[in-house]
Structures are given as C-alpha cells and as structure tokens.
Amino acid sequence: MSSGMPRPQRSWILPTALPTIRRPWPRQAVAAPPRARLGGQPALAASAAVVGALTGLVAATFRVLLEHAGRLRVDLVGWAHGSPVTGFVLVIVCCAAATSAAAWLVHRVEPHAEGSGIPRVEAVVEGRKPPGRFRILPVKYAGGLLSIGSGLALGREGPSVQMGGTIAAVVGRALRRSSADVRLLVAAGAAAGLATAFNAPIAGGVFVLEELLKRFDPRTTLATLVASAAGFASARLLLPASSSDFHVPHFAEPSLEQAPLVVAVGVVCGLVGVAYNWSVIRSLRIADTSRWPVVVRAALIGAAVGAVGWFGPGLVGGGDNLTQSALLGHGTIVAVTGLLALRFVLGVGSYAACTPGGLFAPMLVLGSNLGLLIGLVGQDVVPLETPEPAALALIGMAAFFTATVRAPVTGLVLATEMTASTTLLPPMLGACAVAMLTAAMLRSVPIYDQLTQRAVLATRENAAEGHPD
C-alpha cells in the first residue's frame, strides 16, 4: 500500500456491485415456459387435427363396412331359410368361421388388438403401457369386421377408439413429438374414433377427458376437442349427414310426480350394471384359465351366436336396432324381459371370445330396455305417475352407462347427442346420480378400470411369450 498507487474507492451502490451473481432461474421459470407453451400449442393442435382427420376416415369406412356386413348376415339367414336343415348348418358354420378367424388374427398376429381397445388406450395415456405397433390397426379393423359382422354382441366404438389411438401414435412419432405429446395425441385419436363411431363429437371429447385423461387442462382439452371435431368433419365425407343416430318421439316436460319412477330406473340400472361388470370380468377370467384353444373357443361362441341369429337375425350384432326400438317405446313386458336376459348373456359371452369389439353399444341396448321395462311395468301399476316408456328408455340408457363406466357426464352428453333430445336432461341427471351411487355403495369397480389393469398384466405376459409392443 506504500507504492503510491491511489487507494480504490469503496462503492456502496449494491445494484452495480452484484451483476456477477445474478441467477438465471427467475427468467427461465417465469418467461421461458410460457413462450414454449404458446409456441407449442399451435403445433399440437395441427398434429391433433391430422390425427382426427385420418381417424375419421378410417373409422367411417369401418362403420360403413360393418353396416354392409350386418345386412349381408341378415340376407344370408333369409336365403338359408329356404333350406332349413342345410341353411341352419351353413349359418352356424359361417358365423363360427368368421369369429375364429378374428380370434386367430388377434392371438397369432397382434395380441394387443383383443377386446374393446379402450382399456389399452387408457393404459397408454396413463403411461402404464407404451404405444403399440402400427399393425394393431389392420388387425383391429379386419378382426372387428369379422367378429361384429358375424353377429357377436359387440360395439364398433372400441375398435374405432383403438384405431384412432394407433394412428395418433404413428403420427406423433413421425412428427417427432415428445412422449408426453404422443400420449396426448393418443387420447385425441381416441376421441375422434368415438366421435365417428356414434356421431357424437362432444361425447367423444368428453369421454376422453373424463374417463381416459381424468383432467381438463388447456393442452389436453385443446388436442382432444380439435381431434374430435376434425374426425367428425372428415367422416362426413363418407357417412350420410344426420343430426343423430337414434330418433325419438317428442317427449312431454318432466314433472316431480314422475320422480319415483326415475329413481327406480337409477337403482335398477345400478344393480344390473354391477352384475354386468362382474359377469364380464368373470367370463374373461374363465377364458384366461380355459384349456380350450382360443380359436376353438371363439368358434363355439360364434356358432352359438349364429344359432340365435338363425331364429332372430335382429337379436344379434351391435344392437342399434334394439336400442332404436326401445327409444320408440315398442315392446311388451314379457318380450322386453326376454330380450334383456338374452342380450345380457350374449354380451358377456361375446366379449369372452376375446376378439375385437367394444362394450358401449351392448350397454346402450341393456340400459334403454331396462328403462323401457320399468316404464311398461309402471304403466300397469301407477299409470298416472309413469312417464312415457320411451322417455324412461332414454333415461335408462344414460343411467346404465353411468353405472358401468362411472362417467356420468359422458353418459348424459352421449344420450343427448345420439338422440338430439334435451327435454329429459333433468331426470337423466337424477337417474345417473342414483345409478352411480348404487354402484359405488356396492363397491363395484368401473369396468374400464378393471379391463385396463387386465391389459397391463397381459402386456407383461405377451412380452414373456415373445409378443412385445
């Protein structure tokens, strides 16, 4: 200090003394993520639109071909009745061959195409399973045409949902989206598939948000709704323009005097829904432990369904005609009771064949006819307090779906969109609440939660047997 150099002046101005210890985290935490999110949303929306448009086209062709297959089956039965013995054998052989072919495709070519497909998509969205290979799509497509077209009591929505999820996985990988975005796109593709299957774009989006994703944050909502809308729009190129899948009469405004019958619909749908879930899972457990070869078991189920179809061609298949009849109030107590028993057994047995096919459409048949049955009984017992049987059929459709799936908002929106009727929303809401409470009190696990757990376990077993994803 004695060198004569001037002593440096100490500065007490803190802002100029601290530039070297600035930390970058406030700028990254506050500024960067919003820019990334805003920049990523348009790209995510565009990807979802591509997924939705492709899914809509694929699901629409699937729906059109299923309708042709159903008419072909009915025509075959009508023609075969010209030679009762030979014709009966022919119908049974054709149904058994188609069902066994579907089972062979699933269990020899692509095991992950089995069943509804919705549980697998749910597991992928939750990150519990990786997205599957592309070949799920052609196997699901061809297998679904064979199994549902042969008359199994299965729905088109399950294959449509899984095909949409598969398309989304392929598109997401091709566009180099992150794994989180791929899962979002899989959910979006599922929404587009359901929207096309049931002509219900809002229900498609709501189901995915309520059941698969179980959240309504902006990114997931954006991707899901964009894909659902794009799928619905592209499907219009192939499907006839229609405001709804089912037609219903004009319903009178509901009144409080009718509340006991509405509550009865909710309780009955809750009880039968619990029994249906238990029966489906039990049948799958029996099938999983059976020593019969999968193809043989499927052929036997197909033969049984073919025998039923011989006597009543309209009793088998997805059952849209049966739901439509219930929503028009057609039927007697004895006839509807017999139909319910038959379709309950057919639905459980058909799903145990382990071929591609969904559960939604069979649920709608059971729910609508349960409501119709209560309406018919009510007209005989308390006619002044009983709504129109067709009205209770619509209420039952939403309530049974709620009891089995435990997705009440989807049930309400789906029933409303498929019928273009909003008059019965208040009693539908009450019946759905009662059905959900009944199922919860009986500690019934929602059907897709049980099937998703089964799908996760099946993935490990398939990998061990040389069938990795």
Domain match, 287 and 140 both = no
Q: Would residue 108 count as lying in a domain?
A: yes
Q: Would residue 8 count as lying in a domain?
A: no
CATH number at residue 101: 1.10.3080.10
Domain match, 263 and 175 both = no
When comparing pLDDT for 50 and 463, which is higher? 50
- Total structural domains within the chain: 2
Select from 182, 202, 235 the last residue of a domain. 235
Q: Would residue 393 count as lying in a domain?
A: yes
> Which residues, other chains included, contact 55 with Cβ-Cβ below 8 Å and sequence gap of 6+?
160, 163, 164, 167, 168, 189, 192, 193, 196, 227, 231
Question: Helix axis angle, 294-311 relative to 84-104, nearest 10°?
Answer: 140
Per-residue pLDDT tens over the stretch 34-64: 333 434 788 889 999 999 999 999 999 999 9
Q: Would residue 34 count as lying in a domain?
A: no
When comparing pLDDT for 244 and 73, which is higher? 73
Q: How far apart are CA 412 and CA 401, in angstroms?
A: 9
Per-residue pLDDT tens over the stretch 110-167: 998 998 989 899 889 888 888 888 999 999 999 999 999 999 999 999 999 999 999 9
- When the pLDDT of each residue in the chain is averaged and rounded to a whole number, the result is 87
Domain match, 61 and 139 both = yes
- Token pair recorded at residue 175: 């566009």
pLDDT tops 90 at residue 359: yes
Domain match, 230 and 270 both = no
pLDDT at 66: 95
Per-residue pLDDT tens over the stretch 163-219: 999 999 999 999 988 888 899 999 999 999 999 999 888 999 899 888 888 877 888
Domain match, 210 and 289 both = no
Q: Which domain holds residue 177?
A: 45-235
Q: Would residue 430 count as lying in a domain?
A: yes
Q: Which amino acid is at 157?
A: E
Domain match, 382 and 288 both = yes
pLDDT tops 70 at residue 4: no
Select from 172, 206, 235 the last residue of a domain. 235
Q: Would residue 110 count as lying in a domain?
A: yes
Domain match, 205 and 297 both = no
Select from 235, 265, 292 the last residue of a domain. 235
Q: Which amino acid is at 431?
A: A
pLDDT confidence band for 456 (50 / 70 / 90): confident
Q: How far apart are CA 392 and CA 283, in angstroms?
A: 30
Q: Rounded to two decimals, what is the model's pTM? A: 0.87
Domain match, 86 and 189 both = yes
Domain match, 363 and 216 both = no
pLDDT at 25: 39
Mean pLDDT of 339-358: 95
Instruction: Give the containing element (helix H, strand E) for 469.
Output: none
pLDDT at 469: 53
Domain match, 294 and 222 both = no
Phi, psi of 155 (to 5 degrees): -105, 160
Cα–Cα separations (whole angstroms), residue 302 to 65, 93, 352, 390: 19, 9, 11, 32
Q: Would residue 37 count as lying in a domain?
A: no
Q: Would residue 25 count as lying in a domain?
A: no
Q: Strand pairing partners for 155?
A: 358
SS3 155: strand
> Which residues, other chains included, contact 47 with Cβ-Cβ below 8 Å and sequence gap of 6+?
171, 172, 175, 177, 181, 185, 223
Domain match, 216 and 288 both = no
Domain match, 92 and 149 both = yes
